Chains A and B, each alone.
Chain A
Amino acid sequence: MIDFSMYGQKEPEVYAYKCPDCGTLYYPAPMICKKCGARRDPSGVIFSSWEQVPLGGKCKLLAWTRVYALPEGFDVKYLLFGIVEFENGLRASGRLLVDNPHTGMELEAKIGVVKEKVGEDIYGFMFDIR
């Protein structure tokens, strides 16, 4: 999902994957296209690689919650989460930075650190006011 390997790229990104045969976009990447059955080969050796399309920007809030009982590794009183729909129709779950959200509101999907682990930061979607 996060690819720092591309030379010169500093900003972490989250990608959708495009089926080379029928053009359908996916998040996260499947191993077989739901629509046409084309195979994805992460190594790109046997089958052609799928194009990575950066996912983010303008989106709409479909559902949200504020959670007070968080799992191990999250040492705060509460966090907000949401499911959004992007303009290309793809959906994603992620962290919500708006403290008093309402369903249907317009948001901006940014990429930020969603989990801090020893020696490794995990990046993902942060949905914020546009």
Chain B
Amino acid sequence: MMRKITIVGIGHTVFGNLSDFDLVDIMSFASANALDDADIRKERKIIEQVFVSNMGGGMINHQAGIASSLVSRIDLEPAMAELVENGPASGSSALKCAFMAIASGMVDVVMVTGGELMRTVTGWKGTDFVASLLHPEVEYNYGLTLPAFAGMFTRMYMERYGLTERELAMVAVKDHENGARNPYAHVRIPCTLEAIHDGENAHVVNNYIAEPLRLYGMCPVSDGAATLILCALDSPKMKYFKKKEPILISGIGAATDTHCIHNRKDPLELKAVRLSAERAYEMAGLKPMDISFAELHDAFVILELVISEEVGFFERGKAKEAVESGATRIDGNLPINTSGGLKSKGHPLGATGVSQVFELVKQLRGEAEEGRQVKDPKHGMAVNFGGFGNNVVTTICSKE
């Protein structure tokens, strides 16, 4: 029987342009917030292990040994510390490492901190840095980027399932509605269909980035950090965590797919998403219909739709109907991206997976802000998408 593992503390920085700070500063800020949330600032040395998630520390910030640096900055020595890198899914991968470390019995209390600082370089350089995830020879060399593949993916989906640009814009409107109420979100401005699609000047504001994907079809470039503190439910150390209700990690699963996108038989199938979700459902003993709300990796709005289909919420090609009907809005029967999603909250690569689970915990505790609290949720799911779907992690959190 696997140990039950709970989340006992959470921390977050605001997402946005934090280029006045350094990478470990923003990670320290989220980590310290989590120590306070867990009410263990004085007893912080009970943390035995720290996993840090980040993608660009070496390439963008010219910094190595980030995990050791963080531990020292928040006075957690002699805790063990390592960096986990899995592209834009680094955060959930670090959480998965923490989960495995506790499940193995090696440790009881683990901190997971994810962070990214990329507004310190130009958009031109930042785009190149993220594109380094692609195959170096047969993709990256051409000037191909993640948005380029997302554009091609969007067009294929539109042509096969009849999705329209207006329906895509509706996803963005819904995400911004939630993000506007999230104090941590990067873009806290609601947007209307009139402004980004229907209006006369809409397409001047909402211009093409990678046809048919427009500006409002993509997440902003954000800095930020988020932290989770985990403890085994059977550990005597649970006595330190009395202030907040512990939230159970009921399932966690991951899967990989081909590195080269052209080598997928059906490029519209995101097999790693489906498999990672199946593995998480199996561990949790749950089915898609049991999930009360979800955070899905909408770096591009098309991904919110396709991921929601791959994890079994909707039939293939039908996710747009849920957007039309309002089922995925905060007051619908399956709210999606209650935090604003990557689209509105922002996407600091290494922080994103941790931030998604931070949102699950907030919702399950009933601590979400006015106007974006899901009514009486039982189980929340987070899907964190690495590369263009070649390494995906799904986490399910539940009320204990």
Contact = CB atoms under 8 A, between A and B. Distances in A.
Interface of A: 1, 27-28, 62-74, 79, 81-83, 91-95, 103, 114-115, 122, 124-125
Interface in B186-240: 207-213
A65 B141 CA distance: 17
B143 A28 contact: no
Contacts, number: 103
B143 A73 contact: yes
Given A27-B138, A65-B211, A115 B143 contact: yes
Contacts of A91: 262-263
Contact of B156 (A1, A63, A66, A69): A63
A28 B148 contact: no
A65 B143 contact: no
B262 A93 contact: yes
B137 interface: yes
28 contacts: A28-B135, A28-B137, A28-B260, A63-B152, A63-B155, A63-B267, A64-B152, A64-B155, A66-B151, A66-B211, A67-B145, A68-B207, A69-B145, A71-B127, A71-B131, A71-B143, A72-B128, A73-B128, A82-B152, A83-B152, A83-B261, A83-B267, A91-B262, A91-B263, A93-B142, A93-B144, A93-B262, A115-B143
B147 A67 contact: yes
A69 B212 CA distance: 13
B143 A74 contact: yes
Contacts of A94: 142
A92 B262 contact: yes
A66 B210 contact: yes
B247 to A, nearest CB: 38
Nearest to A84: B262
A69 B209 contact: yes
A79 B210 CA distance: 10
Contacts of B260: 28, 93
B170 to A, nearest CB: 21
B241 interface: no
A79 B152 contact: no
Interface of B: 122-125, 127-128, 131, 135, 137-139, 141-145, 147-148, 151-153, 155-156, 159, 207-213, 260-263, 267
Contacts of A92: 138, 262
A114 B136 CA distance: 13
B137 A1 contact: yes
Contact of A67 (B123, B137, B148): B148
Nearest to A70: B143
Contacts of B263: 91
Given A28-B137, A81-B142, A93-B138, 12 more contacts: A62-B267, A63-B152, A63-B153, A63-B155, A63-B156, A65-B213, A69-B147, A69-B209, A71-B124, A71-B131, A83-B262, A95-B142
Closest 4 pairs (CB-CB, A-B): A65-B151, A71-B128, A63-B152, A72-B128
A68 B148 contact: no
A83 B141 CA distance: 15
A115 B141 contact: yes
A1 B131 CA distance: 20
B148 A81 contact: yes
A114 B151 contact: no
Contacts of A62: 156, 267
Contacts of A28: 135, 137-138, 260
B104 to A, nearest CB: 30
Nearest to B124: A72
Contacts of A71: 124, 127-128, 131, 143, 145
Given A65-B155, A69-B147, A91-B262, A114 B128 contact: no
Contacts of B211: 65-67
B141 A114 contact: yes
A72 B127 contact: yes
A125 B213 CA distance: 24
Contact of B145 (A1, A63, A66, A70): A70
A93 B208 contact: no
Given A93-B144, A114-B143, A122-B141, A69 B128 contact: no
Contacts of B141: 114-115, 122, 124
Contacts of B148: 65, 67, 81
- Most chain B beta carbons < 10 A, residue from A65, A92, A114: A65
A125 B138 CA distance: 9
Contacts of B131: 71
A124 B209 CA distance: 24
A93 B127 contact: no
A33 to B, nearest CB: 14
A74 B215 CA distance: 20
Nearest to A104: B159
A80 to B, nearest CB: 9
